[in-house]
Chains A and B, each alone.
Chain A
């Protein structure tokens, strides 16, 4: 479904992503783990078209999206929940969800919004509230609900557990699994490697811009090196 082939991404002279290849098949949950500054967010931004690779290619549903404008990539069914949520703080919950549905015909929006509210009942209670007044956890739910409004075939999430209490992290992850069961393919970027490996089928480990390891999520969770580096011994 998504194929990233040997991309190199630079910030000026900084070589942030080195020769990275990633593949995501339909129906999977794939996770990309790595320490701070490894280049995870850079990779997701490049897939969404906000950054361009200097070399290498990106194919989504058999089409080269390496040169497609970011808004058209969303139209093709590839959405992202960015790092730090980035909900529109001065807009209400409903308006945020409407923005998520920007690429959709107005006919189905009400149903999709109902679906988002079923997934996140908290949002429904607060639908007239301005997003800036939501708690961190509620903002994360809103960011996920908003991304779902574009009916993505592939949803990329950048550190959805960041800054959340353990119980909320559980909830967010079970929602990710639920979204996947409903037919959305997932590419999950995480620092919480333990949680990520427990829900994913395959994983990539990124170290300073390079893929250091990849394979079956269960096997990687049992790998000594991974345990030492990412699972606290």
Chain B
């Protein structure tokens, strides 16, 4: 979504996810406060962090070449990982799931699904519906789409493009917090590098499904997960990440706009 609107790859997104997970970790695991509070605080922290990063690092580069922005984003990503290491050390923390670690036994115990996986799927669907509604029906959401198509024309409509892009980052970062909490509820080891691989994979999923398209990102994520699992099961455990990226490269070669991506010609 951030890519679609701000036309930049936020490589630091995964690390915002990590910070969100830490925030929730401290609230829920360390201070034993209710999980809901943990999620809310994580969202608030990530929103502030996202807006802060955007103001400080990306906004001054609004008219810079996209490569400069990309390099800055990678820099931010390393900065966040190292800052986390300094603050919270690199020792893995054991994250207590916010939804409990029960499993649902189906078919007389032959199939077991963890509650956290179910919650993850449910939350993803809710967020997808929410985002689709937001960008399709609200004034702010439509303004975001206008900015994503043509910033100059959006300004001529009286849209405050800078504020709109900041808003996009705020929403994206708040959602990153939810991602962080869900991620660590499923895989409870929390480290400063926790976010980087999921961040890259999420990006891969988004490209795979058609970047800028919300259902596309969801579809890409599901397909990517399936490919990864089958890769692990039938080809090689070590190579599963590589397989994912090979698929990405193939998709980009065959259908650069992604599976659900609309190919809109660049107008001059």
Q: Which residues of A contact B (CB under 8 A)?
A: 48-50, 69-72, 74-75, 79-80, 82, 84, 86-91, 95, 98-100, 102-103, 106, 132, 146-147, 150
Contact = CB atoms under 8 A, between A and B. Distances in A.
Q: Which 5 A-B pairs have the closest CB atoms?
A: A74-B158, A103-B158, A86-B153, A70-B155, A71-B160
Contact of B143 (A50, A82, A84, A99): A99
Contacts of A50: 152, 155-156
Contacts of B264: 89-90, 132
A82 B151 CA distance: 13
Interface string B1-25: 0000000000000000000000000
B128 interface: no
Contacts of A89: 149, 264, 267
A102 B149 contact: no
A93 to B, nearest CB: 13
A75 B149 CA distance: 21
Contacts of B146: 88, 91, 99
A218 to B, nearest CB: 31
Given A50-B152, A86-B152, A91-B142, A99 B262 contact: no
Interface in B105-161: 139, 142-143, 145-146, 149-150, 152-161
B156 A74 contact: yes
A99 B157 contact: yes
Secondary structure call for the B interface: helix
Contacts of B150: 86, 88
Contacts of A84: 267
B159 A88 contact: no
A88 B161 contact: no
A91 B159 contact: no
A71 B152 contact: no
Contacts of A79: 156
Given A84-B267, A91-B149, A102 B155 contact: no
Given A50-B155, A74-B156, A91-B149, A98 B142 contact: yes
B142 A71 contact: no
Contacts of B157: 74, 99-100, 102-103, 146, 150
Nearest to B150: A86
Nearest to A103: B158
Interface in B249-268: 262, 264, 267
B146 to A, nearest CB: 5
B152 A99 contact: no
A106 B149 CA distance: 23
A147 B264 CA distance: 24
Given A84-B267, A95-B142, A102-B143, A150 B149 contact: no
A99 B142 CA distance: 8
Contacts of A98: 139, 142
A50 B161 CA distance: 12
Nearest to A80: B156
Given A88-B149, A88-B150, A69 B160 contact: yes
